[in-house]
C-alpha cells in the first residue's frame, strides 16, 4: 500500500513538473521569460499577504464586536464573524498557494541560470553572470524566508478564532459571550504577531521586485 501511494505521488509530481515546464516554454515563446513570471508570482504572493492581513484583522474586529455584545441581534453578529473567518481561511489558503507558485518558478529559473553558465566562452561574462546569480538567489532566500515565517503564523492566528466560532455555534447567548472576554487579548496577540510578520514579508517582496526590475535579474 505504501509503495503504491509513493508511486502515485511520484507520478503526480512528475506530471505537474511536466505541466510547469510546458507552461514556461509556452510563455517564453510569447516573450515572457522565467524572470518575468517570477516577478509576477512574487507580486501575487505579496498581494495575497496583504489580503490575508486585511481579512484576518477584520475577523478579529468581528470577534471583538461579538464579545462586547450589549444587546441586539447576537445571531447576526455571529454570522458576520463566521463569514469573516471563512474569508480569512480562504485568504490563508491563497497565501500558501502563491508561495508555492513562487518557489516553483524560482527553482526553474535558478536551475536554468546555473546550467547556462557553462555555455559562456568569455570567462569575464561567466563570472559576472555567476555573481548576479548568487546575489539574486541570496535576495530570493531572504524574501522567501520572510514569507515562510509569515505563513507559519497563519495557523496560530486562525486557530483561536476557529475555536471561538465553533464554541459560539452551540452557545450563542449573552452569558457564554461574556465568558469569552478574556479570550480577546490572546487572539489579539496572535493576530498582531501575524500582522508583523506579514508586513515584513510584504516589505521583502517589494525589495525583491524592485531589485529584479532594476538589475534585470
Write down the pLDDT at residue 11.
Answer: 39
Q: What sign has the CA pseudo-torsion 54, 60, 66, 68?
A: negative
For residue 182, give the 3-state DSSP assignment. Answer: coil
With a pLDDT cut of 90, the percent of the chain lying above it is: 71
Instruction: Please report, for residues 90, 109, 128, 129, 215, the alpha-carbon distance to residue 123 in angstroms, rounded to integers and kept in the order given.
Output: 50, 22, 9, 10, 21
What DSSP string describes 21-40? HHHHHHHHHTT--HHHHHHH
**For the chain, what percent of residues have pLDDT higher than 70?**
89
> Around Cβ 111, how many Cβ atoms within 10 Å?
11
Question: Has residue 26 got a pLDDT over 90?
Answer: no
Cβ proximity of 117 and 126 under 8 Å: yes
**What does the domain layout of the chain look like in residue ranges?**
33-215
DSSP state of 72: S
Strands (E), 94-204: none
Distance of CA 15 to the CA centre of its chain: 24
pLDDT score at 23: 79
Average pLDDT, the chain: 88
pLDDT digits (tens, 9 = 90+) for 171-199: 999 888 888 888 888 899 999 999 999 99
The tally of CA atoms less than 13 A away on the side-chain side of residue 123 is: 0
User: Which cell numbers hold the place of 28?
Assistant: 517564453
Task: Tell me the pLDDT band of 30, cut-offs 50, 70 and 90.
Answer: confident
Grid coordinates representing 148 are 515562510
The pLDDT tens digits for 100-159 are: 999 999 999 999 999 999 999 999 999 999 999 999 999 999 999 999 999 999 999 999
Amino acid at each position: 500500500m505504501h509503495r503504491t501511494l509513493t508511486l502515485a505521488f511520484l507520478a503526480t509530481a512528475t506530471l505537474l513538473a511536466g505541466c510547469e515546464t510546458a507552461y514556461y516554454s509556452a510563455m517564453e515563446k510569447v516573450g515572457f521569460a522565467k524572470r518575468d513570471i517570477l516577478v509576477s508570482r512574487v507580486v501575487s504572493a505579496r498581494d495575497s499577504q496583504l489580503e490575508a492581513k486585511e481579512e484576518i484583522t477584520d475577523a478579529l474586529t468581528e470577534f471583538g464586536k461579538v464579545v462586547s455584545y450589549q444587546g441586539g441581534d447576537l445571531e447576526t453578529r455571529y454570522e458576520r464573524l463566521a463569514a469573516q473567518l471563512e474569508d480569512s481561511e480562504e485568504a490563508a489558503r491563497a497565501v500558501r498557494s502563491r508561495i508555492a507558485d513562487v518557489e516553483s518558478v524560482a527553482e526553474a529559473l535558478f536551475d536554468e541560470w546555473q546550467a547556462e553558465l557553462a555555455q559562456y566562452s568569455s570567462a569575464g561574462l561567466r563570472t559576472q553572470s555567476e555573481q548576479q546569480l548568487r546575489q539574486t538567489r541570496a535576495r530570493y532566500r531572504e524574501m522567501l524566508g520572510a514569507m515562510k515565517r509569515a505563513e507559519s503564523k497563519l495557523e496560530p492566528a486562525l486557530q483561536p478564532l476557529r475555536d471561538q466560532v465553533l464554541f459560539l455555534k452551540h452557545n450563542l447567548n449573552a452569558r457564554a459571550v461574556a465568558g469569552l472576554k478574556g479570550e480577546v487579548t490572546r487572539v489579539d496577540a496572535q493576530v498582531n504577531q501575524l500582522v508583523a510578520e506579514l508586513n515584513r514579508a510584504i516589505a521583502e517582496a517589494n525589495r525583491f521586485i524592485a531589485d529584479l526590475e532594476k538589475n534585470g535579474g
